[in-house]
Amino acid sequence: MLDRLLHSLESPSVICADGGALHARALGLTPHTIIGDLDSLTAEQVADFKAAGADIIQYPPEKNETDLELALRHCQQIGASAIFILGALGGRFDQTIANIHLLAHPAFSDMRIEAIDRDQVLRLLKPGSHRIMGERGDTVSLIPLAPAVNGITTSQLQFPLRDETLYLGPARGISNVMLADRSAVEFACGLLLLVHTSGRA
């Protein structure tokens, strides 16, 4: 997934939220910027990254934002056109939920943000029409992030929705299946979390 992503981008910047710099290095990536309170890095590691050319932006531990939110705000400030988050899922459940909710943060409403975890891609869908590019047999879940998401119509999914509503709570939108390499969803109001899994989940 990472290799496909990197080959699809021109001159990507690697922005690391604190200890994410260690994961980036393990993947053979060179951090351009490391941002956060740096509580997951030793002073020696910070010095090594700085010597390798990384820009270090340190915040105090007592802050209202998570390191990931700070990283997203930095991406916004430098004018990033698309953001792909690696390593936002798993580990602490509270952090995972908070990271998913960041996709719906009003400050980032004009940004294309996707969270990638192994064979899954998460992205926030807003009212309108959206294409889902993948392969026949991929798993697609549509999860409401609002009390009700109205007027949902899908195409090229095994279990279609036709001007229907998904409600926060019931799991009706889970584990649909793509019938072609291109599916679509459109809806009138609310917010949907799209979870696209390569192959059958």
Strand pairing partners for 36? 58
What class, spelled out in words, does domain 124-197 have in CATH? mainly beta
3-state secondary structure of 41: coil
User: From the CA atom positions of the chain, what is the Rg in Å?
Assistant: 18
2-118 and 124-197 have identical folds? no
Cα–Cα distances in Å, from 85 out to 56, 115, 116, 190, 200? 19, 5, 6, 23, 23
Query: Mean pLDDT for the chain?
Result: 93
- Does the pLDDT of residue 156 top 90, yes or no? yes
CB burial of residue 146 (10 Å; 0-12, 13-18, 19+)? middle
38-57 pLDDT, tens digit per residue, is 999 999 999 999 999 999 99
Beta bridge partners of 154: 185
Q: What is the mean pLDDT of residues 100-120?
A: 90
pLDDT for residue 110: 86
User: DSSP states of 140-169 as a string?
Assistant: EEEEESSSEEEEEEEESBSS--SSEEEESS
Residue 114 in 3-state DSSP? strand
By C-alpha distance, which of 5, 187, 3, 26 is closest to 114? Answer: 5
- Asked if pLDDT for residue 88 goes beyond 90, the answer is no
Per-residue confidence (pLDDT) for residue 87, from 0 to 100: 86
Torsion, Cα 68 69 70 76, to 10 degrees, reads: 110
- In the chain, where are the structural domains located? 2-118, 124-197
Q: Tell me, yes or no, if the pTM score tops 0.85.
A: yes
Residue 4 pLDDT exceeds 80: no
CB atoms under 10 Å from CB of 8, counted, come to: 10
CB atoms within 10 A of CB 29: 17
Alpha helices in 13-153 (DSSP H): 20-26, 43-51, 67-77, 93-102
Q: Which fold is adopted by the domain 2-118?
A: Rossmann fold (3.40.50)
